[in-house]
Amino acid sequence: MTLDIPQIIPEGRCLKCDICCRFPEVDSPMRPYFTAAEIETAVARGVPAGQFPDRSGGRVSLLPHPAGDGYVCPAFDVATNRCTIYHDRPLDCRLYPFVVVRPPEGTQPLLGWDRLCPYLREESDPMLPLKTAPVIAQQLSAGEAPPLSNDPGFAGPFQESAWMLEPLPIDLVEGRPTSPPAVLPPGLPGIRLSSIGDDPDEVERVRRFLIDAVEAPLSVRHPAALLMWRPLMRLFWAELEGGTAMLACQAETWFAPAPPRPREGQSLPAVCRQLLTLLDRLNANPAASRIERIGASQHRVLGEAGLVCRPSGEEYLYDRSALARLRGDQYKSQRWSCNQAERRFRPQYAPYQSGELTACLRLYAVWRRLKERREPADDYAAALMADSFYAHWQALAHVEVWGLVARVVRIDGVIRAYTIGAPLDDRTLLILHEIADPACSGLGPWLFREVCREFTAYPDINAMDDSELSSLRETKLRYRPARTVPMYQAVLDRQ
């Protein structure tokens, strides 16, 4: 079956490009993937058979660039800037600037687009990739689509330049692991590490651990605040001499995303020292070793014991009833926005359904693309937005099993906003995510108010931290937090 992939870049623009078909490294993850049938066709068209190390399917071997640094695809003619097998080029090339990749952790492939493409980055309608992606996703998800059903390797490794749009409903586990197991250093006497699974019993174990280990009302007391990042990091249990700890490994850096839980008769400072010593042995650079989400009282205890606790932000707590009413001059702006949204759009507020995951993620892509165009982000903010796709995806996909509450807002039958939260305890409702279509002015404040009106059993709302983004901090402060909850990182004193 030949897939009819929409070509969104004008041919003339492609022929002027100096990016495609050229690669800085000989083993670039962006080099084209050929299926067995595509290899046979390429060889028949004159591409040297020796450029395909695995004739059953794999990424092509590149050639040195004849006129400069780097490497080129063996099917690329540098003199004419054309592909010599263009009409028979592999699906991987026909998809571009769209890409199919594996997340750093997990087996479900993701459809994204490459932000290195000059046309999409500089010249096109900013919504063009978002409008085209659903058509491509539908074709790639069909049961007879050979690259994904028969060639799991077609989904390439994670790329920082790729902007993820949506997951494809396919599992790539058959025969090929999608991420290598963590390589643990040998010889850690008295230490047992085991991977944290995703079955309901394991989620419940994580929940009990975090309730015991983390001070209220910090957001990480709810397991979703950690588990939603699992496509980007691996989580492990560590049984220490004095207690139990949770470890995270991201980009080969190990840290503890929450304090350890001491065994009876053991002190928190002693177990934290054991944990930090373990992290030092796991990390090539011990400066990365840290224990996150230390609460205020834990900070005092650890400081008195000689451990270094440095500030790492604060979470914002609000009086839910005040945000439900929005009375007084201090909420004049939010009240006006809500009233405008209600009059203009007549929004409909309803529970989220599992079948709405893709619609919500497509809304997230619209939000991010428009935000990027209106408020160009620095590298740090751009990286945070790229990573947050995975957190939204995972939270939406696990609403029921993680004990979350999610709501959507429809305007004329179309989802234009959504929010995801969870009860932290008897007093506090946690808000994990909130997205509203930027084209619907005031819809974000309206949604936040509706959540505060619905969940009357909780006096407090925890809206998490500001991720050290000044714009996010300003937004949170405009809602007049009742108080902020400081957080700390614990590290060893290396003086």
Q: Considering the entire predicted model, what is its pTM?
A: 0.84
The residues spanned by each domain of the chain are 11-167, 192-313, 316-485
So what's the pLDDT on residue 263?
Answer: 96
So what's the pLDDT on residue 158?
Answer: 76
Mode of pairing for the β-strands spanning 243-250 and 234-239: antiparallel
- Lookup: tokens for 286: 């011990």
Q: Going along 275-379, which residue ranges are E strands?
A: 291-294, 308-319, 348-351
CA distance 19 to 118: 8
So what's the pLDDT on residue 2?
Answer: 66
CA distance 179 to 177: 6
CA distance 194 to 174: 23
3-state secondary structure of 492: coil
So what's the pLDDT on residue 187?
Answer: 47
Tell whether domain 192-313 is in CATH 3.30.460: no
Mode of pairing for the β-strands spanning 428-436 and 460-462: parallel
Other CB atoms within 10 Å distance of the CB of residue 112:
24
So what's the pLDDT on residue 490?
Answer: 96
Same fold, 192-313 and 316-485: yes
* Radius of gyration of the chain measured on its C-alpha atoms: 25
CATH architecture of 316-485: 3-Layer(aba) Sandwich (3.40)
So what's the pLDDT on residue 466?
Answer: 95
DSSP output for 221-237: GSTHHHHTTTTT-EEEE
So what's the pLDDT on residue 494?
Answer: 73
Other CB atoms within 10 Å distance of the CB of residue 356:
18
Q: Determine contact, residues 326/449, Cβ cutoff 8 Å.
A: yes
So what's the pLDDT on residue 109?
Answer: 85
Low-confidence stretches of the chain (pLDDT < 70) are 1-2, 123-124, 142-149, 170-191, 495
Closest CA to 398 of 223, 264, 235: 223
So what's the pLDDT on residue 277?
Answer: 93
Name the residue with tokens 């299926």.
35
So what's the pLDDT on residue 408?
Answer: 98
CA distance 269 to 256: 14
